[in-house]
Structure formats: structure tokens, C-alpha cells
Chains A and B, each alone.
Chain A
Amino acid sequence: MKSKLLILCIVITNLVACNNGDDMLLSYQHSLQTGFYSHNTKKDTVLTAIKAWGIGHEDSLLYDGSQSLHELFLNLNMNENRTQFVICTQMLRDEIDVYYSHHLQPVSGSGGITMEIRIDSIKHTNVFMDSLAIRQRDIKYNESTQNVEIFVY
């Protein structure tokens, strides 16, 4: 009886010791993760010469047109509940308009503060974009899940 109890206690003690998962680095990325998909095949696709910037921040580019990409990280403006982006590929230009709510989230262990964002809705123009699908509404600290699928013609 006593030896069984000792073994049980040791197992629990080790489980507690292994639960120290706070050694994460704190990132200040608050990006909407988007991916490009073909409207016809529904498979991921690459757009060439991608250029993107936030409306109201035209003097600085998120993507400068030098790359061919199948996904974009669009930083959301935390001072607002809405951020508009211009996305260009070659000579085609579309705009997306992201509405969201956000709240502060302390991160224990790393001892910092980050923002948890919930996407409410997204509007867009239809030059090369056919449609959008929100796959994951929540943008959370330390998660890299694609939030929005952009279907292109």
C-alpha cells in the first residue's frame, strides 16, 4: 500500500515539474494571416509582384512588389477597429476593409502584454479577388493559423 502511494506521489510530482511551459517569447505581431486560392480549383495559388499597404499609411509598404507570394500578413491598426488595405498584383488593384474588435491580454511567464483580436467582417473590391472566406476569426498570441482565404480569378 505504502509503496504504491509513493510511486503515485512521484508520478504526480514529475507531472507538475513538466508543466512549466511559460518559456515563450513574446511577439508583437497583430497580423491578419491571409492566403491566396484559385477560384476555379480551390487550391492555394501564388500571386506575382505583390504590393500591399494600409490606407492612411501610404508612405510605407507592407509588401513592395518584389515577391511572389501565396500568403500575406496584414498588420491591423490597434488604435482603430477598422483597417483598410490595398493589395496589388502586377497592374491589378483591390482593396480589403477589415472590421474587428480587440482586447488586451497579459501573457504570464513572458511577462508582457499582447492583443487578442476578433474579426467581425471583411469587405473587398472585385478586380482580381472573387471572394473571401473567414476561416479563423480570432487572432491570438502565439498562434499562426490562417484567418482568411482570398479566392482569386
Chain B
Amino acid sequence: MLRYLFISILFVLSVSAAAQSSRLSSMGSKLGVDTQGGSSRPANSDDDEERPVEPKITVIKDQGLSLGVDLAPVIMRFIKEEDTGIAFVGRYGVKNKWWANAEVGFQHTNYSNDNFDYKSNGTFIKIGLDYDIFQSEDFPVNDNIFVGFRYGYAWQMHESGRFLIVDDYWGEYKGSVDKTSVNSHILEAVFGIRCEMLRNLYMGWSFRARFLVASAHDNTLDPYSVPGYGSYDSKAGIGFTYTIEYQIPFNKLWKNKEK
């Protein structure tokens, strides 16, 4: 229930941010007009009875290198207090609708209860592509709606300082597990929104369908949590990101230089 409320609030905030961004549509957006496509008729035809050719409108958005921070691990700390982490994101516009992405993050897990202590320190890197499906003539803004994918690799060192399992018949099984490494491979399907809040400053969120495709570790202790993925005991799950990014618009600078 708490999780639902949290995500609903996040969703409402982002929708209102998108609306606000639409009102600021004059900032940083361009409306390009392409009169080449769709007709072989010359534009200055003197045949007045012919219907005028509808120009094909293409929204050209600012693209460049974006660098930012993902605040989802910080927010998740309030829900899953054993995990502490931060992630940094970078994205680069490779074509008008295509963006290359890279994410790097760190996660520390410290869990303890009556019969189990667990610690883990790890990092992850994710790379992938996003496709911007948002093209609106009515709202020619720099905002994006992305669908995409990520491949991720996570490395962590984990240990259990103490564990206790009680069996009704054989009694207690207890001990500790020394520090060992874990290597995991992750795939994600991404759906997300990114809004330009101020000139070149973006806020966005994304939902991720995550799949833990492989994990290599010594056969003593399974990880409690995998950095950049979540709980190890479910091989598929849903995650989210909440990013604040600054976009360096050097694609535009290059265009200006060429002029």
C-alpha cells in the first residue's frame, strides 16, 4: 500500500511537471518545416484551384550529452532501509529519436535481524538504447517519452557475520560466511518520461522490467540484494528510476560552428 501511494504520488508529480513543461514550450524547442516530402508539385504553382500542399511538420528536439543523478536509491532508502546507494546517468543523442545510455551506481546493503547478519558492497554499470516515441506538433517541446532496453553488469562483495537456522528435529545450524564476490548480469526493458523543467535541466522517471539473467557466486551464500537489480530471490521484478539531468547541448554548438 505504501509502495502504491509512493509511486502514485511520483506519477502525479511527473504528469504535472510535463504539463508545466508544455507551457514553457517556447523555451528550447524548434519547429522545423519540411516542404520537400509529400509532393512533386512546385510551391509557386499558379494553378489557384489546386488544393494547397499540407507541409510535413517535423519536431526537431535539442540533443546532446546529458549527465545526471538517479535519486531512486535515495528514495528507496525510506522503504528498504537496509540498502544505501546512488546512481549516475549519462545519455547521448545519437540521432533525432535515438539515445545511447550509460548508468553507473553503487550500493551498500547492511541487514541484520535475530538470526542473520548480512553485508554487501557493490557497483553496477548499465548500457543501452532508448527510442523517443513522443512527437507532437501541438506541443513542440524537448520532452521525451522513452522505450528502450539496458544490459547491466553488477559486481559485489558480500558476507554474513552470523546466521542461525533452527530445525525442529536436528536443532540449530549456525555459523558465518566469509567475504566472497558475486557477478551478476541484468537485462531491463525501459519505459520512461523526461521533461525539460528549466533550460537544459531535465527531470524524469522510468519503470524498468528487470530480469536477472545470470549470477555467479560461490555455492555457500546467495546474495540478499544485487546492486542495480534488487532482491536476488526473484529472478524478475520491476524497478524505477527518478533522475535529474543537465544536458550539454553541444550538438547545437556544432551546428552553429558549421554555419
Give the complex CA separation of A76 and B223 in angstroms.
23
User: Is residue B177 within 8 Å, beta carbon to beta carbon, of the partner chain?
Assistant: yes
A16 and B240 contacting across the interface, CB-CB below 8 Å: yes
Give the complex CA separation of A133 and B160 in angstroms.
36
Q: How large is the interface on A (under 10, 10 to 19, 20 to 34, 35 or more residues)?
A: 35 or more
B111 and A5 contacting across the interface, CB-CB below 8 Å: no
Question: What is the minimal beta-carbon distance from A62 to any residue of chain B, in angstroms?
Answer: 6
Could you give, for residues 73-99 of chain A, a 1 whenever the CB lies within 8 Å of some chain B CB and a 0 otherwise?
001111100000000000000000000
B170 and A75 contacting across the interface, CB-CB below 8 Å: yes
User: Is residue A153 within 8 Å, beta carbon to beta carbon, of the partner chain?
Assistant: no
Give the complex CA separation of A30 and B118 in angstroms.
21
Question: What is the minimal beta-carbon distance from A25 to any residue of chain B, in angstroms?
Answer: 14
Number of interface residues of B (CB under 8 A): 41
B165 and A78 contacting across the interface, CB-CB below 8 Å: yes
User: Is residue A101 within 8 Å, beta carbon to beta carbon, of the partner chain?
Assistant: yes
Q: Which residue of B lies closest to A20 (CB)?
A: B3
A113 and B116 contacting across the interface, CB-CB below 8 Å: yes
User: Is residue B115 within 8 Å, beta carbon to beta carbon, of the partner chain?
Assistant: yes
User: A17-B4, A62-B169, A112-B115 are known contacts. Are A103 and B221 too (CB-CB below 8 A)?
Assistant: yes
A104 and B233 contacting across the interface, CB-CB below 8 Å: no
Determine the main DSSP class of A at the interface with B. Answer: mixed
User: Is residue A107 within 8 Å, beta carbon to beta carbon, of the partner chain?
Assistant: yes
Q: Which of A17-50 contact B (CB under 8 A)?
A: 17, 19-20, 22, 28-30
Q: Which of B70-112 contact A (CB under 8 A)?
A: 111
- What are the residues of chain A within 8 A of B118 when measuring CB–CB? 106
User: Is residue B113 within 8 Å, beta carbon to beta carbon, of the partner chain?
Assistant: yes
User: Is residue B35 within 8 Å, beta carbon to beta carbon, of the partner chain?
Assistant: no
Listed by A's residue number, 13 A-B pairs whose Cβ atoms lie within 8 Å are: A10-B11, A16-B3, A16-B4, A16-B207, A28-B168, A54-B170, A75-B167, A75-B169, A105-B222, A106-B232, A106-B233, A108-B224, A109-B231
- B residues with a Cβ closer than 8 A to A are 3-4, 7-8, 11, 15, 111, 113, 115-116, 118, 136, 145, 160, 163-170, 173, 177, 191, 193, 207, 219-225, 231-234, 237-238, 240
